[in-house]
Amino acid sequence: MTEGGVSTQGKQTSIRDGWQGWSWRKRGLVVLAGVVQVALFIAAIFILAGQVWRDDVLSSEEATPEPVSEQVRDWDKPTDPRELEAYDFAHSLELPDSLPKLVPFDFNKYSRSDRSTIAKAYFKHLCETEAGDYVFKTIEKVEGLYQMRPRSIATEEEFRDPYRMEDPYGYVKGESERVAFKFIWRHRYSYFEQPIPGAFSRKKNITDEQFDASLFNLPSPNEATAIFWGYSGEMNSLKKRYEQQRISRYGYTWRGIRRDRDREFGIAGGELIVLDLHTDEILGVRRGFAWTGTLGRKTNWEFTPVCPRYEIRDRSKDFDFSYWFIRKVLRPVDPVEWPNLDF
């Protein structure tokens, strides 16, 4: 059969062959698209698995970094010979066996945790297992005491450095300058003794005339200790004199303590030790810890959580942080207890 001179049978065959060719091409494209989708799905799985693996590795590395060398990053030690002697004596003291023993912290338990989580858990661990006030013997009617290691005023650089300060826990500025004012007062002690020179720092906006002139006197070569006394509430009532030998029977010192990787996680420990100066008997120990930022990124030892905390004025620490514990061991002649503020 012809249509316009063209065979209709041939035309139908050509159209049929064309559709069959297109059908096969379409099927091929569908198959190819399916293969591509499967390949993309498999690739996505590998990419996701790789990301999870990298996250695990990075998390593990962040949580359990290599320890920082304790020898390289030790705290600053005194360079003055007399201060170094007092430092060495403090660190030579052996404490009673009844003190809590060191309980190692399980870092592996926090192998997938970030540094902040580890630091918080580590600080809590130390507070619960070691920190506290430990009184072995109470001495009644003590008139005065000897401060074996006067503290220096910390600089801004020391506050911001994770390692330089020996005992950030026990440090308060109020006990690093004009410390006698914190110990001598009614219901406290009648005198306070220090090694020479018994320096008395001047204060901004207050002239020397507002203090007794004896506070700025220097010792003679044969004098060994400085004794502050006479404070009755007025700044000019505090006086100072020198003696050739120590007059106090009791005294206190302090020292930093180290725990595994403590400064690496922004934690510092310290001990305040009260003792009988005639026998070296340990009468009481306050052991505590402070927690600041990690690896120097947020370090500020001036304002930091501590344990044990100061028990009054709703503060972590205050200007008479040391006296707060010492009075529990060396009882003044006429002590007054909290809630009286001038206890």
**SS3 of residue 188 by DSSP:** coil
pLDDT of residue 250: 98
Angle between helices 115-129 and 8-63 (to 10 degrees): 30
H/E stretch holding 273 reads strand 267-276
| pTM for this model (two decimals) | 0.77
Mean pLDDT of the chain: 81
Give the 3-state secondary structure of residue 226.
strand
Q: What is the largest CA-CA distance in the chain?
A: 142
Q: What is the mean pLDDT of residues 291-303?
A: 76
> Would you say residue 304 has pLDDT above 80?
yes
Task: Please give the structure tokens belonging to residue 174.
Answer: 């109020």
> pLDDT, tens digit, for every residue of 108-134?
999 899 988 999 999 999 999 999 999
DSSP at 61: H
Q: Is the per-residue pLDDT at 313 higher than 80?
A: no
pLDDT digits (tens, 9 = 90+) for 245-287: 999 999 999 999 999 999 999 999 999 999 999 999 999 999 9
How many Cα atoms within 13 Å fall on the side-chain side of residue 78?
19
Q: How confident is the model at residue 338 (pLDDT cuts 50, 70, 90)?
A: low
So what's the pLDDT on residue 25?
A: 54
pLDDT in tens, 60-101: 444 444 444 444 478 999 999 999 999 999 999 999 999 999
Bond from prior residue into 308 cis (ω within 30 degrees of 0): yes
Amino acid 307: pLDDT? 94
pLDDT at 185 over 80: yes
If pLDDT is split at 50, 70 and 90, which confidence band does 197 have? confident
| Cis, bond preceding 100 (omega within 30 deg of 0) | no
What pLDDT sits at residue 126? 98
Residue 302 is predicted with a pLDDT of 86
Q: Count Cβ neighbours within 10 Å for each residue of 32-61 and write b for 16 or more, e otherwise.
A: eeeeeeeeeeeeeeeeeeeeeeeeeeeeee
